[in-house]
Amino acid sequence: MLSLEGAPPLRIKLSDPAQVERLLAFLAMDTNVVVSQIALDEVELSFLGSLNTEAQVLASELRVQLWLAAHPDVIAVMQK
């Protein structure tokens, strides 16, 4: 299994900068993830704790997809 330990954080760029605050609030509910706004339209997720980083990344990607399903007018690009 590929280890993502020490890998760069997950970045998410939104098509609508006005939605960044909502995405930040939604993702901040996970206490194993630090979410930061790094640009007007971009957030970065860093993973904490001793949990499997690969699983944390997958769970965060799924949470973003869930959020996007509730905001169909927003497009997101994720980069690892």
Round the average pLDDT of the chain to a whole number and report it. 86
pTM for this prediction: 0.82
The contacts of residue 16 (CB under 8 Å, 6+ apart) are 41, 73, 74
Domains belonging to the chain, first-starting first, are 10-79 (3.30.70)
Q: Is the pLDDT of residue 25 over 80?
A: yes
For the four alpha carbons of 37, 41, 67 and 57, in that order, the dihedral sign comes to negative
How do residues 60-72 score in pLDDT, each as one tens digit? 899 999 999 999 9
pLDDT at residue number 50: 62
- Residue 41 structure tokens: 């339209």
Cα 69 to its chain centre, rounded Å, is 15
At 6, the pLDDT band (50, 70, 90 cuts) reads low
Q: How far are the Cα atoms of 14, 53, 57, 62 from residue 46, in angstroms, in the given order?
A: 18, 10, 9, 15
